[in-house]
């Protein structure tokens, strides 16, 4: 990268650790320097040096309508004129709570927060407070934010940078977290037996999307539901990625499994910082001020984030966005698979709805061990070959791509052509 982006990155490194405010943005996993964005609209981003890219990162998931959708921008501008933050209840947080509870019936009550990390952390505290137990089961490669007890065999940036167990996390915290291979229900059953009456909850991404993208097998999710019910533990679905993206009711709608608690973020904020967690009323009622489990946030329920999320969700419903996303995703899958079939490189393509991942290894891939077989050097060359041709995919093998309703069939066709060119260049 040259030009103003290079100058900005040099300046950033003097004042910001690594020059970025979230590790994966540094492009350390693929080499080179990050580009700095000047503006974004629809399916495109433009960097400060004037280069244009078809974007499949979408702010890491929230931009389901594309960048700067008019319906969201107009709503935010109108509310901003009346105040940016109150620290006092506002009508939009009630409206968004009602809409989420309607679309996700497992959520009877919900608490708004400011990030997915905060929501997941709060869920665990609530689960421990409700069950009076301390231990948590999570799964290798599932990422639930950077709270101390969850940075054990984590995905996303922790995996990308080779530090699944972060420095600064006390061993006593990590000892309360049991990380198991995804899709292995026998080990879950064994763990419950070996930790009788000690497991407060199982937390997982029902569709893991922070170690690439792979899927629950057979009756894995329903079996987790059964085991939690049998042993008096709570089942927590982290749907920060999948919530309102893979379906109107998230992954829990697709698989027909009802969690006790759900973690949300990304899409429900319309591009502004947001998170939320909710579930059964009897559990949620343990939160302060009604119950003994403390949780608070100065900017929680911020009117700008609430109205942005409301506008985005209502627009998705109005345009039948999930059908449009499925159609675009299916088109991309067909063309991408055709491109893959023309190469001798070992590749595995996964997709559900508007989420996708191309692994640089052979399948099947059903867990983190499978994902880590990917050829990272080949992925690096592929990433840069696409970027040079004007397509921006996530700069890590262990991230997921996102299609938005702003992507056109022409965007998809052009992207597939570039994917083919990039693969042939390897």
Q: Which residues are catalytic?
A: 143, 238, 266
Strand 199-204 relative to strand 135-139, pairing: parallel
- Encoding tokens for residue 400? 């997921």
Cα 378 to chain centroid, rounded: 24
Please say whether the beta carbons of 129 and 302 come within 8 A.
Answer: no
Residue with tokens 């101390």: 148
| Strand (E) or helix (H) holding 5 | helix 4-15
Q: How far is CA 87 from CA 84, 265, 296, 298, 320, in A?
A: 10, 20, 11, 6, 34
171, HSE (Cβ side, Cα atoms, 13 Å): 0
CA distance 67 to 192: 44
Q: 211 by DSSP, 3-state: which?
A: coil
Rounded Cα gap, residues 177 and 169, in angstroms: 12
Residue entry with tokens 């709503």: 75
**Joined tokens for residue 75:** 């709503």
C-beta separation of 381 from 31 below 8 A: no
Q: Are 259 and 282 in contact (CB under 8 A)?
A: no
Q: Is 72 exposed, middle or buried (0-12, 13-18, 19+ CB in 10 A)?
A: buried
Q: DSSP string spanning 223-235?
A: HHHHHHHHHT-EE
Q: Please give the C-alpha separations between residue 27 and each of 6, 33, 235, 332, 382, in angstroms, as whole numbers.
A: 13, 6, 35, 25, 14
Cis peptide before 92, with omega less than 30 degrees from 0? no
């Amino acid at each position: 990268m040259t030009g103003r982006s290079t100058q900005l990155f040099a300046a950033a490194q003097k004042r910001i650790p690594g020059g970025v405010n979230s590790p994966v943005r540094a492009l350390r996993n693929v080499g080179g320097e990050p580009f700095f964005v000047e503006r974004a609209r629809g399916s495109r981003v433009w960097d400060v040096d004037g280069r244009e890219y078809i974007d499949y990162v979408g702010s890491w998931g929230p931009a389901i309508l594309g960048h700067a959708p008019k319906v969201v921008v107009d709503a935010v501008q109108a509310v901003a004129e009346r105040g940016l933050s109150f620290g006092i209840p506002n009508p939009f947080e009630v409206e968004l709570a009602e809409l989420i509870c309607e679309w996700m019936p497992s959520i009877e009550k919900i608490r708004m927060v400011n990030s997915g990390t905060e929501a997941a952390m709060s869920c665990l505290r609530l689960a421990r407070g409700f069950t009076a137990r301390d231990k948590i089961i999570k799964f290798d490669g599932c990422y639930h934010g950077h709270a101390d007890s969850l940075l054990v065999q984590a995905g996303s940036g922790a995996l990308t940078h080779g530090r699944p167990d972060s420095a600064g996390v006390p061993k006593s915290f990590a000892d309360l977290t049991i990380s198991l291979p995804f899709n292995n229900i026998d080990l879950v059953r064994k763990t419950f037996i070996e930790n009788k009456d000690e497991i407060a909850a199982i937390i997982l991404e029902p569709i893991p999307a922070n170690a690439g993208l792979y899927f629950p097998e057979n009756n894995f999710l329903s079996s987790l539901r059964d085991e939690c019910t049998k042993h008096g533990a709570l089942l927590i679905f982290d749907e920060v990625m999948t919530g309102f993206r893979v379906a109107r009711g998230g992954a829990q709608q697709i698989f027909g499994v009802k969690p006790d608690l759900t973690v949300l973020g990304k899409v429900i904020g319309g591009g502004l910082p947001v998170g939320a967690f909710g579930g059964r009323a009897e559990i949620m009622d343990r939160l302060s001020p009604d119950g003994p489990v403390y949780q608070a946030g100065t900017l929680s329920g911020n009117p700008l984030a609430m109205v942005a999320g409301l506008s985005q969700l209502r627009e998705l419903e109005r345009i039948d966005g999930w059908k449009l996303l499925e159609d675009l995703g299916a088109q991309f899958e067909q063309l991408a698979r055709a491109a893959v079939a023309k190469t001798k490189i070992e590749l595995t393509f996964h997709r559900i709805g508007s989420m996708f991942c191309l692994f640089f290894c052979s399948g099947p891939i059903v867990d983190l061990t499978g994902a880590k077989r990917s050829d990272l050097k080949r992925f690096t060359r592929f990433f840069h070959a696409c970027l040079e041709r004007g397509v921006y995919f996530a700069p890590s093998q262990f991230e997921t791509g996102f299609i938005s309703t702003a992507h056109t069939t022409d965007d998809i066709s052009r992207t597939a052509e570039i994917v083919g060119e990039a693969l042939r260049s390897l």
